[in-house]
Amino acid sequence: MFGLEELRTGAPPPPPGQPAFRDSPEARRMLAVREIRAEPGAAASPRGRQVLAAFPDAEVIPVDSHWRIPDLHGNKGNAERWVRIKSTVLVLGEKKTLTVRPNGRSADWIAPGAANGCAMACAYCYVPRRKGYANPITVFTNIDRIVARLRRHVTELGPKREPNQCDPDAWVYDIGENNDCSVDALISDNTADLIHAFTRWPTAKASFATKFVNPDLLRLDPRGRTRVRFSVMPGDDSRLLDIRTSPVEQRIAAAGDFLEAGYEVHFNLSPVVIRPGWEQAWAELLQHMDDVLPRGVKEQAAAEVIMLTHNKALHEVNEEWHPRAEEVIWRPDLQQAKRSENGDWNVRYRNAAKSAAVETLRRLVAAHAPWLTIRYAF
């Protein structure tokens, strides 16, 4: 099954006497898996067997489809168990549609994801809107087919002929649109296999955003072909909204280690939440970044600025488990409805408020972190 030269059988073992982070108490707190819903074919595959072996005490429940699990998806009663489900349930499935979609913002292309969902619980996350009321991680076990699809796409494109905001030289593929690859690496070697594959494609580069610091990724030898985008926001906002994520200070502190390990390191200033005192909070965060980041990180760093987007259905779910967050991110006085690219109706800051906030953040970056190039803002 894993016959492709781009695919290896997993991450290299840690040095003797130094256990993998995925086996640490911190990792087990993030994922205390008790139940695995599995398509039979996915469970029987090599990657599926790896996941099952990682959680030997979990109950395995066969399902016909990873996408349609009635008591998990669309069950409104699950809203009150939002975080518990994320930490105790996994789903195993096979990715059926291997579409590579154009993007043009954070990446040139969106790769077919090797997972969907997340063990973290950011109050503003858009991913659970489609599944409804529960969004544990679904691991796609046919990683060989995902890598093969990407290889064909990269080969057909050939070299990048003109620089753009995504990258001056390489085609950039976002490999974590609906998941966090750092957390996924606690479960299986899908992230390791993708990072390794891109080291063999000189015209392409992988990219993923993360809010979780996983030291196991430092052993993967990406050779400059993977861009890690650490998402950051002011600490008070993060503690309220970024549930179960690594502290923002830890994400920033990890940037130098990841650069030294061979990653390109960028930042997402995301999401920007308009609330009383937000300008001062962002000024202090940017000043902290300027104070602590090593010169090497600053010389190659760039950032995306992403204003908060919310959704009425998600607002209703959040009211069941985290109403304090909604006091900050549900602001009808500042927000307007807007249809997203996938056809959903979301709420975003009104045009004038959003434009003013983006301009304010640009000025703050210029004043406190002038080395940080803003690739795009929206």
Beta-bridge mates of residue 210 = 230
* Confidence (pTM): 0.94
Instruction: Report the range of poorest mean pLDDT among 57-71, 182-196, 285-299.
Output: 57-71
Which of the two residues, 77 and 191, has the higher pLDDT score?
191
* Cα-based torsion angle of the residue sequence 118, 121, 124, 125 in order, rounded to the nearest 10 degrees: 10
Print the SS3 string covering 324-376.
Answer: HHHHHHCCCCCEEEEECCCCCEEEEECHHHHHHHHHHHHHHHHHHCCCCEEEE
Q: Is the pLDDT confidence value at 117 over 90?
A: yes
- When pLDDT is averaged across residues 153-163 and rounded to a whole number, the result is 98
Q: Classify residue 231 as left (phi > 0), alpha (psi -120 to 50) or beta.
A: beta
Give tens-digit pLDDT for 245-298: 999 999 999 999 999 999 999 999 999 999 999 999 999 999 999 999 999 999
Q: Is the pLDDT confidence value at 213 over 60?
A: yes
pLDDT at residue 83 in the model:
86
Helices assigned H by DSSP within the chain:
25-30, 40-44, 46-54, 82-88, 128-131, 143-157, 181-184, 190-198, 235-241, 248-260, 278-292, 295-300, 312-321, 323-329, 351-368
- When pLDDT is averaged across residues 88-116 and rounded to a whole number, the result is 96
Instruction: Report the range of poorest mean pLDDT among 7-21, 144-158, 338-352.
Output: 7-21
Q: How far is CA 317 from CA 6, 54, 75, in A?
A: 41, 31, 11
Cβ neighbourhood burial of 255 (10 Å; 0-12, 13-18, 19+):
buried
Average pLDDT of the residues of the chain: 93
Q: Is the pLDDT confidence value at 74 over 80?
A: no
The encoded tokens of residue 143 equal: 């990683």
The encoded tokens of residue 144 equal: 């060989």
Beta-bridge mates of residue 1 = none
CA distance 320 to 80: 6
The encoded tokens of residue 337 equal: 């409805």
Beta-bridge mates of residue 204 = 171
pLDDT at residue 2 in the model:
37
% of the chain with per-residue pLDDT over 90: 81
In the structure, what pLDDT confidence band is assigned to residue 122 with cuts at 50, 70 and 90? very high
- When pLDDT is averaged across residues 327-340 and rounded to a whole number, the result is 92
Instruction: Report the range of poorest mean pLDDT among 79-83, 193-197, 334-338.
Output: 79-83
- When pLDDT is averaged across residues 319-333 and rounded to a whole number, the result is 95
In the structure, what pLDDT confidence band is assigned to residue 126 with cuts at 50, 70 and 90? confident
In the structure, what pLDDT confidence band is assigned to residue 341 with cuts at 50, 70 and 90? low
Give tens-digit pLDDT for 366-376: 999 999 999 99
Q: Is the pLDDT confidence value at 98 over 90?
A: yes
CA-atom Rg of the chain in angstroms = 20
pLDDT at residue 3 in the model:
41
Give tens-digit pLDDT for 168-178: 999 999 999 99
Q: How far is CA 32 from CA 126, 176, 185, 332, 336, in A?
A: 24, 22, 15, 37, 39
Q: How many residues does the chain have?
A: 378
pLDDT at residue 75 in the model:
65
CA distance 100 to 302: 24
pLDDT at residue 67 in the model:
87
Cβ neighbourhood burial of 252 (10 Å; 0-12, 13-18, 19+):
buried
pLDDT at residue 81 in the model:
82
Q: Looking up tokens 């052993």, which residue turns up? A: 219
Q: Is the pLDDT confidence value at 357 over 70?
A: yes
In the structure, what pLDDT confidence band is assigned to residue 70 with cuts at 50, 70 and 90? confident
Max Cα distance, the chain (Å) = 57
Question: 212: which residues sit within 8 A by CB, 6+ positions away?
Answer: 30, 120, 180, 182, 183, 245, 246
In the structure, what pLDDT confidence band is assigned to residue 332 with cuts at 50, 70 and 90? very high
